[in-house]
């Protein structure tokens, strides 16, 4: 049974003392230097929250403006960090890693990073006055990773199926960056924007989204290792060329809405002429998700656009997405977008 959740939540003007207290919640100590702008009394303003979802699993989410030229230094405790910067331009240092993180430009994918600390590490954040930042950072303690069977010594009998993940999690300051899949982008955005009134079910969903995003990152570590240390996207060049052409054609037809029928795995293998294994592994290498998941999500996104822009009914949108049941469509739609299709149709 998980212990009670611990939360450090701040809104409005955020003082240096509040930031130091948040650092304590996160298992580190913060030294803050700030040259405030005219009229500013605090280093930050906006919304800043540190939430301990359960022992060993900590979420930091920030939507803030720097009121001055701010420099934060601290010493971080061991653990795995997942960082997503949705908006901003911030300079960070983790040990010897110097990172300049920027939110995506129009047309660019949203980046995420995994960073493993097997021991204490120095940290620095530098941002200029009036800098805006929207970000999430998930911190996973070593004991949580052990208990989950992700690193040796855990109590779980189900160890991970690849040495690459274990190697990454046992290397101090190991760093891995990747472009989030469409599903990963949705997860990160939902994590960063909590509902106004969060109940127990919302908190359970928050934890599940954090773990799903962590799973995407660790899977990408394994894919990158399979590509010989290159980015996972280069796996496409390692697929049989005949397979790659068929997989790219399938993705293009899905994106264009030209794949008809229920979209079962058997249907997709028949359309491509590929075996189940070649289709599953190859399509994941190209897109970061299975062919069936990718098709389902693209159909839901097309239905969302139709609800927003074409005024179709919920029943019509469900049929467009391949659902014979409007209730099942509504469930899948809300799981992906966080709102019901009826609300999208009525309120946009």
Question: What are the tens digits of pLDDT across the range 164-199?
Answer: 788 788 888 888 888 998 899 999 999 998 877 778
pLDDT-derived band at 230 (thresholds 50, 70, 90) equals very low
Task: Kindly state whether residues 217 and 253 are assigned to the same domain.
Answer: no
CB 299 within 8 A of CB 333: no
User: Above 90 in pLDDT, residue 152?
Assistant: no
Write down the pLDDT at residue 151.
Answer: 75
Domain tally for the chain? 2
Which of these, 252, 248, 249, 228, lies nearest to 238 by C-alpha position? 228
Question: What are the tens digits of pLDDT across the range 295-337?
Answer: 998 999 899 999 988 989 999 999 999 999 999 999 999 888 8
Rounded to 10 degrees, the C-alpha dihedral 257/259/262/263 comes to: -110
Q: What whole-number distance in Å separates Cα of residue 104 and Cα of residue 179?
A: 10
Task: Kindly state whether residues 114 and 257 are assigned to the same domain.
Answer: no
Task: Kindly state whether residues 250 and 120 are assigned to the same domain.
Answer: no
Q: Which of 204, 226, 248 is the last residue of a domain?
A: 226
Task: Kindly state whether residues 279 and 301 are assigned to the same domain.
Answer: yes
Write down the pLDDT at residue 153.
Answer: 56
Task: Kindly state whether residues 179 and 253 are assigned to the same domain.
Answer: no
Average pLDDT of span 199-221: 91
Write down the pLDDT at residue 28.
Answer: 57
Task: Kindly state whether residues 176 and 256 are assigned to the same domain.
Answer: no
CATH of the domain at 118: 2.60.120.10
Residues 6+ apart with CB under 8 A from 334: 340, 341
Q: Which of 196, 226, 256 is the last residue of a domain?
A: 226
H or E element: which one contains 6?
Answer: strand 6-14
HEC secondary structure over 287-310: HCCCHHHHHHHHHHHHHHHHHHHC
Write down the pLDDT at residue 56.
Answer: 93
Structural domain contains residue 1: no
Task: Kindly state whether residues 40 and 168 are assigned to the same domain.
Answer: yes
Write down the pLDDT at residue 29.
Answer: 57
Q: Which of 153-157, 193-197, 224-228, 327-331 has the lowest mean pLDDT?
A: 153-157
DSSP state string for 173-194: TEEEEEEPPHHHHHHHHHHHS-
pTM of the predicted model as reported, rounded to 2 decimal places: 0.61
Q: What whole-number distance in Å separates Cα of residue 208 and Cα of residue 139?
A: 14
Q: Which of 132-146, 274-288, 304-318 has the lowest mean pLDDT?
A: 274-288
Mean pLDDT over each residue of the chain, to the nearest integer: 81
Structural domain contains residue 231: no
User: Above 70 in pLDDT, residue 30?
Assistant: no
CA angle 54, 55, 59 (to 5 degrees): 60
Task: Kindly state whether residues 248 and 214 are assigned to the same domain.
Answer: no
User: Above 50 in pLDDT, residue 38?
Assistant: no
CATH of the domain at 286: 1.10.10.60
User: Above 50 in pLDDT, residue 154?
Assistant: no
**In 3-state terms, what secondary structure has residue 268?**
helix
User: Above 50 in pLDDT, residue 258?
Assistant: yes
Write down the pLDDT at residue 223.
Answer: 73
Domain residues for the domain of 267 are 239-347
Which two structure tokens, joined as six digits, stand for 149?
């069977």
């Amino acid at each position: 049974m998980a212990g009670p959740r611990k939360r450090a939540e701040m809104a409005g003007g955020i003082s240096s003392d509040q930031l130091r207290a948040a650092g304590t919640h996160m298992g580190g100590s913060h030294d803050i230097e700030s040259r405030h702008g005219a009229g500013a009394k605090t280093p930050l303003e906006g919304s800043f929250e540190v939430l301990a979802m359960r022992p060993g699993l900590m979420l930091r989410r920030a939507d803030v403006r720097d009121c001055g030229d701010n420099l934060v230094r601290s010493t971080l405790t061991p653990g795995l960090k997942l960082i997503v910067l949705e908006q901003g331009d911030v300079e960070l240092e983790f040990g010897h890693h110097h990172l300049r993180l920027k939110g995506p430009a129009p047309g660019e994918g949203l980046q995420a990073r995994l960073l493993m600390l097997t021991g204490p590490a120095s940290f620095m954040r530098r941002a200029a006055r009036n800098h805006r930042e929207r970000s999430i950072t998930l911190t996973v303690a070593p004991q949580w990773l052990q208990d989950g069977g992700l690193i040796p010594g855990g109590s779980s009998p189900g160890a991970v199926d690849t040495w690459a993940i274990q190697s990454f999690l046992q290397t101090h300051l190991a760093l891995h960056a990747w472009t989030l899949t469409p599903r990963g982008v949705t997860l990160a955005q939902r994590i960063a924007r909590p509902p106004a009134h969060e109940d127990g079910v919302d908190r359970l969903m928050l934890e599940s989204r954090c773990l799903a995003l962590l799973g995407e990152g660790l899977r990408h570590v394994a894919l990158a290792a399979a590509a010989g240390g290159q980015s996972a996207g280069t796996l496409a060049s390692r697929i049989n060329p005949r397979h790659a052409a068929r997989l790219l054609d399938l993705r293009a037809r899905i994106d264009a809405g030209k794949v008809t029928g229920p979209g079962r795995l058997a249907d997709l293998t028949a359309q491509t002429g590929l075996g189940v294994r070649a289709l599953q592994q190859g399509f994941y290498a190209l897109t970061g998700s299975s062919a069936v998941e990718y098709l389902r999500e693209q159909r839901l996104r097309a239905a969302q656009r139709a609800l927003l822009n074409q005024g179709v009914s919920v029943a019509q949108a469900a049929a467009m997405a391949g659902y014979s049941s409007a209730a099942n469509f509504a469930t899948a739609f809300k799981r992906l977008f966080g709102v019901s299709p009826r609300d999208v149709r009525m309120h946009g």
